[in-house]
């Protein structure tokens, strides 16, 4: 790490502590040449994930879009915001941990549905009705029947 005062490239770490709930590390350093102290921050570099939408356009992954979709599906349901944020964190981590830098919106939707199914079946059906764009009552009933068969 280069000293901001004299430009010397060697320093020693005096103190390290996590910040931002463990997302970053704050380090106090001392330059080995001029003995002045300075602070650096270290964090994991996340490569941007691109989402391929149904119309083949691409946009950066936006966790707020995923959370807002789940919030709408869980409206007036006994599902806490904390639970939904945990689900979004799991989905984002899963995507980050995959080697792919591009993911389809269909895959993200499927991941959301899988997790909503475990949390609240009504929210799952609500999300599925928008995500799968049910055309009529028959396709809606098919999804409900699948859910009933899985619960037996």
Q: Give the E-state strand segments of the chain in sequence order.
A: 11-19, 24-31, 37-43, 50-52, 58-60, 102-104
> Percentages helix, strand, coil for the chain, rounded to the nearest 5?
45, 20, 30
Beta-sheet pairing, 50-52 with 102-104: parallel
Distance CA 125, CA 147 (A): 9
Give residue limits of the domains in the chain.
11-43, 50-151
> At how many degrees (to 10) do helices 81-97 and 63-73 cross?
140
CB-based contacts of 147: which residues, under 8 Å, 6+ apart? 117, 121, 124, 125
User: What is the reported pLDDT for 43?
Assistant: 82
User: What is the reported pLDDT for 29?
Assistant: 97
User: What is the reported pLDDT for 149?
Assistant: 77
Phi, psi of 107 (to 5 degrees): -65, -40
User: What is the reported pLDDT for 1?
Assistant: 86
What end-to-end distance do the CA atoms of the chain give, in Å?
60
User: What is the reported pLDDT for 134?
Assistant: 66
pLDDT in tens, the chain (152 residues): 899 999 999 999 999 999 877 778 999 999 999 999 999 999 877 778 999 998 999 999 999 999 999 999 999 999 999 999 999 999 988 988 887 889 999 999 989 989 998 999 889 888 887 776 666 677 767 777 777 777 66
Distance CA 139, CA 145 (A): 10
User: What is the reported pLDDT for 150?
Assistant: 74
């Amino acid at each position: 790490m280069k000293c901001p005062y004299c430009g010397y490239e060697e320093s020693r770490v005096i103190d390290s502590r996590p910040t931002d709930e463990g997302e970053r590390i704050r380090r106090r350093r001392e330059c080995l040449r001029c003995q002045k102290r300075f602070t650096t921050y270290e964090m994991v570099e996340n490569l941007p994930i691109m989402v391929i939408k149904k119309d083949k356009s691409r946009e950066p992954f936006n966790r707020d879009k995923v959370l807002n979709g789940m919030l709408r599906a869980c409206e007036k349901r006994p599902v806490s915001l904390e639970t939904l944020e945990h689900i979004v964190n799991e989905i984002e981590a899963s995507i980050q941990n995959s080697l792919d830098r591009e993911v389809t919106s269909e895959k993200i939707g499927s991941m959301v549905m899988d997790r909503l199914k475990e949390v609240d079946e009504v929210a799952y059906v609500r999300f599925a009705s928008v995500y799968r764009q049910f055309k009529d009552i028959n396709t809606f009933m098919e999804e409900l029947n699948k859910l009933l068969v899985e619960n037996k």
